[in-house]
Copies of this chain bind each other. A is one copy, B any other.
Amino acid sequence: MARFADDFVADLREWLAIPSIGVDPAHRDDVAASAEWLAAALRRDGWPDVRVWSDSGALPAVYACLPAADPDAPTVLVYGHHDVQPVDPVEQWQHPPFEGTLVGEELFGRGASDDKGQVAMHLLGVKAHLAAMGADRPSVTIKLFVEGEEESGSPNLARLLDDHRADLACDLVVFTDTPLYARDAPTVCTGQRGNYAAEVVFTGGSADVHSGRAGGSVPNPATAIARLVAALHDDEGRVRLPGFYADVVEPTEAERADYAALPFDEDVWLANSGGARALSGEAGWTTLERVWVRPTAEVNGITGGYTGPGLKTIVPARAAVKLSFRLVPDQEPERIAEALREFVAANTPPGLHAEVIPRGNGTPPYAMPVDHPAVRAVKESLEAAFDQPVRFSRTGGSGPAAVLRRDLGVPVVYLGATLPDDRIHAPNERVVVPLLLRGAEAAARLWRLLPERLS
Which of the candidate stretches A93-101, A182-190, A221-229 sits at the interface with the other chain?
A: A221-229
A218 B270 Cβ-Cβ under 8 A: yes
What separation, in Å, do the CA atoms of A303 and B225 have in the docked complex?
12
Tell me which of B205, B211, B305, B312 contacts A276 (CB under 8 A). B205
What separation, in Å, do the CA atoms of A214 and B270 have in the docked complex?
9
Tell me which of B211, B213, B278, B311 contacts A360 (CB under 8 A). B311
Tell me which of B277, B302, B320 contacts A351 (CB under 8 A). B277
B227 A281 Cβ-Cβ under 8 A: no
- Could you pull out 29 A-B pairs where Cβ atoms are within 8 angstroms? A197-B311, A204-B276, A212-B396, A213-B272, A213-B396, A214-B276, A215-B298, A215-B326, A216-B396, A217-B280, A218-B270, A218-B274, A222-B229, A222-B321, A223-B233, A225-B226, A226-B227, A226-B229, A274-B315, A277-B351, A298-B313, A298-B315, A299-B316, A299-B319, A300-B311, A300-B314, A302-B319, A305-B322, A307-B320
Instruction: Kindly state whether residue A304 has any CB partner on chain B within 8 Å.
Output: yes
A214 B316 Cβ-Cβ under 8 A: no
B209 A397 Cβ-Cβ under 8 A: no
Q: Given A313-B197, A322-B306, A274 and B227 touching (CB < 8 A)?
A: no
What separation, in Å, do the CA atoms of A211 and B345 have in the docked complex?
26
Name the residue in A273, A282, A299, A305 with the highest tally of chain B Cβ atoms < 10 Å from its Cβ: A299
Nearest CB in chain B to that of A351: its residue: B278
Instruction: Kindly state whether residue A395 has any CB partner on chain B within 8 Å.
Output: yes
What separation, in Å, do the CA atoms of A305 and B206 have in the docked complex?
25
Which of the candidate stretches A120-128, A131-139, A289-297 sits at the interface with the other chain?
A: A289-297
A213 B273 Cβ-Cβ under 8 A: yes
Q: Given A211-B324, A229-B230, A276-B204, A300 and B291 touching (CB < 8 A)?
A: no
Tell me which of B195, B275, B306, B322 contacts A300 (CB under 8 A). B306
What 10 A-B pairs have minimum CB-CB distances, sorted nearest first?
A: A278-B351, A212-B397, A209-B274, A205-B274, A230-B230, A226-B229, A301-B305, A205-B275, A206-B275, A214-B273
A311 B359 Cβ-Cβ under 8 A: yes
Residues of chain B contacted by A294 (CB below 8 angstroms): 216
Instruction: Spell out A's residues near B (CB within 8 Å).
Output: 193, 195, 197, 204-220, 222-223, 225-233, 269-270, 272-282, 287, 290-291, 294-296, 298-307, 310-317, 319-322, 324, 326, 349-353, 359-360, 395-398, 420, 424-426
Tell me which of B207, B214, B305, B322 contacts A291 (CB under 8 A). B214
Tell me the smallest distance from the CB of A5 to a CB of chain B, in Å: 29
Tell me the smallest distance from the CB of A212 to a CB of chain B, in Å: 3
Tell me the smallest distance from the CB of A329 to a CB of chain B, in Å: 15
Tell me the smallest distance from the CB of A334 to a CB of chain B, in Å: 17
A359 B206 Cβ-Cβ under 8 A: no
A219 B280 Cβ-Cβ under 8 A: yes
Tell me which of B290, B299, B304 contacts A305 (CB under 8 A). B299
B272 A204 Cβ-Cβ under 8 A: no
What separation, in Å, do the CA atoms of A24 and B210 have in the docked complex?
19
A312 B307 Cβ-Cβ under 8 A: no
What separation, in Å, do the CA atoms of A209 and B272 have in the docked complex?
8
What separation, in Å, do the CA atoms of A393 and B233 have in the docked complex?
43
B222 A279 Cβ-Cβ under 8 A: no
What separation, in Å, do the CA atoms of A389 and B155 have in the docked complex?
70
Tell me the smallest distance from the CB of A312 to a CB of chain B, in Å: 6
Tell me the smallest distance from the CB of A72 to a CB of chain B, in Å: 39
What separation, in Å, do the CA atoms of A300 and B231 have in the docked complex?
21
What separation, in Å, do the CA atoms of A214 and B218 have in the docked complex?
38
Nearest CB in chain B to that of A232: its residue: B223
A215 B296 Cβ-Cβ under 8 A: yes
B227 A212 Cβ-Cβ under 8 A: no
